[in-house]
Structure 1
Amino acid sequence: MSHALTVIGAHLLFERADHVLLGRRSPEAAFAPDTWHFPAGHVEDGESARRCAVRESEEELGISVREHDLQLVHVVHLREEDGSPRMQMVFRVHRWAGEPQLKEPDRCTAWAWWPRVALPDPIVDYTEVALEGIAAGWSYTDMGWRQPAPEGRRA
């Protein structure tokens, strides 16, 4: 049995009056160019997912967040088309200081508050799935994993 390293992403869910904050990724981005997405980043060596979320909030948005103001509300266990696994952790931000700024214009070209009932298009698929799961009260969704064959049939 082989073991694949799982990339962990920390995503921030900022909410204001039934709106969520999303950023439009740069047209030159390697992942999902010109697509709307949560403020997020990859967990770096030696940091927790919460610490990563705090760091990314400051780096991407110029918004100060404290770890104890983050609540894990959804996890998306994702398998990319190339087979690589990712764990996307979504943290609701209960309190913060500051307003969104374009701190990394090479990565994100806009921040906007979107109504939950009218999300932008295009949107990163697992961002939309996570928001749907949160609205439904689910804590976990998986995407891209091979589903087992129906009982009595071989895969």
Structure 2
Amino acid sequence: MAGKIRHRSIVDVHALLFDEAGRVLLMERANTGYADGMAGVPAGHLEQGESILDAVIRETAEEVGVRLGTGDARCVHVSHRCKPGQVDRVGFFFAATRWEGEPVNAEPHKCARIWWHDPDDLPSETIGYVADAIARVRSGAGGVFSLYGWT
């Protein structure tokens, strides 16, 4: 199969932080050029030479100022998603119920606000693939892997 080019996906990580009442931490995106005004969770891209676990720990600290320990974050879902005409992405979703510090909006230039919300009644403005992953994690019926947006 000489001449074939190996496919490479963009990899991202997502932190599902749950408080003692079982609510999930949401963030309203702003000034990013992607899904501004929509609700998401602390998330970001994997950097060169970084493990998936290190990425979710870094992104959570950067975006909401809390420190996850390596044993605090557990991978609960993987989503391979694509929009027609765009490059596909593989997203790893990690759940945590403990961390060091109190969540704050640590990137106000990219985030309008953060708040705790019932994960079983997400706002209609929640990013589609994020809402899908949360619903799958909550129901337990979706397994640990899903496809989103493939036609």
Q: Which residue of 2 aligns with 1:54?
A: 57
Contact 2:84 2:150 in 1 (8 A): no
Query: What is the CA deviation profile of residues 41-93 of structure 1, one whole-angstrom value per residue up to 9, with x for unaligned ones?
Result: 10000001110011111111110111221100011110123241100110011
Residue type matched to 2:29 in 1? R
User: Deviation of residue 141 (structure 1)?
Assistant: 1.1
Q: Write the mapping of 1:2-151 to structure 2, written as runs, cut at 5 A.
A: 2-16=5-19, 17-26=21-30, 28-137=31-140, 138-146=143-151
Aligned length: 145
Show structure 2 runs of 5+ residues with no match. Answer: none
User: Deviation of residue 132 (structure 1)?
Assistant: 1.0
- Matched-pair identity in %: 30
> Higher Cα Rg: structure 1 or 2?
1
Query: What is the CA deviation profile of residues 4-35 of structure 1, one whole-angstrom value per residue up to 9, with x for unaligned ones?
Result: 32111110011121211010000x22110110
Residue type matched to 1:139 in 2? V
After superposing on structure 2, the runs of 4+ consecutive aligned residues of structure 1 that deviate more than 3 Å are: 1-4
Secondary structure at the residue paired with 1:120? coil
Contact 2:43 2:56 in 1 (8 A): yes
Taking structure 2 as the reference length, the TM-score comes to 0.90
> 1:134, 1:83 → 2: CA distance?
26
RMSD value, Cα: 1.3
Residue type matched to 2:146 in 1? T
User: Deviation of residue 117 (structure 1)?
Assistant: 2.7
Taking structure 1 as the reference length, the TM-score comes to 0.88
